[in-house]
Structure 1
Amino acid sequence: MSSQTDDTSPNGRAVRPRGRLRATVVAALALAFVAAAVGFVGFLSQLRGVEADPPHDADGIVVLTGGSSRVSDAMELLAAGYGKRLLISGVHPTNDAGDISRSVPDSRGLMSCCVDLDHSAVNTRSNAAGTRRWVRARGFKSLIVVTSNYHMPRAIVELSHAMPDVSLIPFAVVGDKWRDEPWWTSGATFRLLLSEYAKYVAAEVRVRLADVGLDLTSDLGEPAAAPHRPTTAQAN
């Protein structure tokens, strides 16, 4: 009487490969979860919990609209002499300097002399493109970046990719809600951070792939293409 091993039996052939496949998938998902969790912790470690004055002046200041008190904080930096001019990037198409002056009291004098508006931005990537055009037109070599603390990592990724030759100085705006309660106690804040982390990772991957593509082109002896430059944004 002949006997069959598990590997050669019909059940063995069907079950064992499936079991190995299932174990592989579970292990891959577990590793992906751990990597995402570690990355999220690293992302959170970049977020400032308090506002701090820039360490030194810069040629210009750019504020990316989309969060409370960003514009007013940028105006205060301009008034304090931290930059020569201010770019407000991502202004709604229907808003003008008068609307901003009404929303930010004591800014009328600055609005008329030292502030530029960019209405073209629709996301962070386009913020970077519009800022790059403004910086090049002004001949600036350093820039204070004003945006919310949770948005700053992605903003720096996009801006540094668009302007690798410009020194960027982050000024992270910390909202009242962030100060008043820990982020992990608020479902809305936690969801915001998860969403922003996903966008940050996507931006990092896209930028790195673009850089690798440029390097490969150069290695092949072909002229390196200029990095893709985004356009300015309103919904960050």
Structure 2
Amino acid sequence: MIIRTIAAALLLWIAGFMAFALFLPQPAADGITTDGIVVMTGGRGRVERGLAMLADKRAKRLLISGADRRVKPHELAAQFKADRKLIDCCVDLGHESVDTRSNAEEAAGWIARNRYRSIRLVTSDWHMVRGRYDLEAMTPDDLTIVADAVPTEPGLVDLVREYNKYLLRRIAGLIGI
């Protein structure tokens, strides 16, 4: 009985992992506009994608959640070759988060303060499922979240690690942690 239970759990994990790995979220469709953009830092291409969407007038403001405390707006503009005026007017640097869950907390506060009803969430394809799950848990049900995944080429170890983190977050959510 125990062996069958373990085998069934392992098969469920494998099936879930296969679906997770094979159906990574994609970039958002062209032309979609939202009130704001949230970039969860930590991977290549995320900030660039958020800034490009802001420059293309896909939203009014951009939050870069998890930005290093030492980063200044003029340095951000120089590093990403972005218009300094755009950075000064429309980019908020969030310095409070240290992980995905605190990224979501920081973003939820920013969304509430700005009274946004729709946001574009920018993060890596492999990170989008957990990032969106955490953000949805901390924001009103009527908030529209447009997933805008930055394509990557994650390795097997990265995918297994992220899938397990996602499963643990779901379990934590179910038991109220």
TM category (shorter chain) comes to over 0.9
Partner of 2:21: 44
Gapped runs of 5+ residues in structure 2? none
| 2:147 aligned to which of 131, 152, 170 | 170
User: Are 2:27 and 2:147, in contact at CA under 8 Å, matched by a contact in 1?
Assistant: no
Q: CA deviation at 1:25?
A: 2.7
Whether 1:25 and 2:2 are equivalent positions in the alignment is yes
What is the distance in 1 between the residues matched to 2:89 and 2:71? 18
Gapped runs of 5+ residues in structure 1? 1-23, 184-188, 211-227, 229-236
How do residues 141-220 of structure 1 correspond to structure 2 at under 5 angstroms?
141-163=117-139, 164-175=141-152, 178=153, 189-210=155-176
What is the distance in 2 between the residues matched to 1:51 and 1:129? 23
| Cα distance change, pair 202–55 in 1 and its aligned pair in 2 (3 A) | farther
Tell me the TM-score normalised to structure 1 length: 0.70
What is the distance in 2 between the residues matched to 1:157 and 1:120? 19
Q: CA deviation at 1:27?
A: 1.7
User: Are 1:61 and 1:143, in contact at CA under 8 Å, matched by a contact in 2?
Assistant: yes
Partner of 2:66: 90
User: Are 1:54 and 1:170, in contact at CA under 8 Å, matched by a contact in 2?
Assistant: no
| Cα distance change, pair 54–125 in 1 and its aligned pair in 2 (3 A) | farther
Partner of 2:50: 74
What is the distance in 2 between the residues matched to 1:81 and 1:208? 38
Q: CA deviation at 1:63?
A: 0.3
What is the distance in 2 between the residues matched to 1:27 and 1:202? 23
Secondary structure at the aligned position of 2:175 is classed as: helix
Q: What is the aligned-residue RMSD (CA, Å)?
A: 1.6
Q: Percent identity?
A: 32
What is the distance in 2 between the residues matched to 1:150 and 1:200? 10
User: Are 2:28 and 2:146, in contact at CA under 8 Å, matched by a contact in 1?
Assistant: no
**Structure 1 runs of 4+ with >3 Å offset:** 50-55
User: Are 2:39 and 2:65, in contact at CA under 8 Å, matched by a contact in 1?
Assistant: yes
| Cα distance change, pair 45–54 in 1 and its aligned pair in 2 (3 A) | farther
Size of the aligned set, in residue pairs, is: 176
Q: CA deviation at 1:143?
A: 0.4
What is the distance in 2 between the residues matched to 1:151 and 1:129? 16
| 1:99 aligned to which of 75, 80, 83 | 75
CA distances 1:94-116 after superposition (whole Å, capped 9, x unpaired): 22212211210033121111000
How do residues 53-68 of structure 1 correspond to structure 2 at under 5 angstroms?
53-54=29-30, 56-68=32-44
Tell me the TM-score normalised to structure 2 length: 0.93
User: Are 1:58 and 1:143, in contact at CA under 8 Å, matched by a contact in 2?
Assistant: yes
Partner of 1:13: none
Q: Mark the structure with the bigger radius of gyration.
A: 1
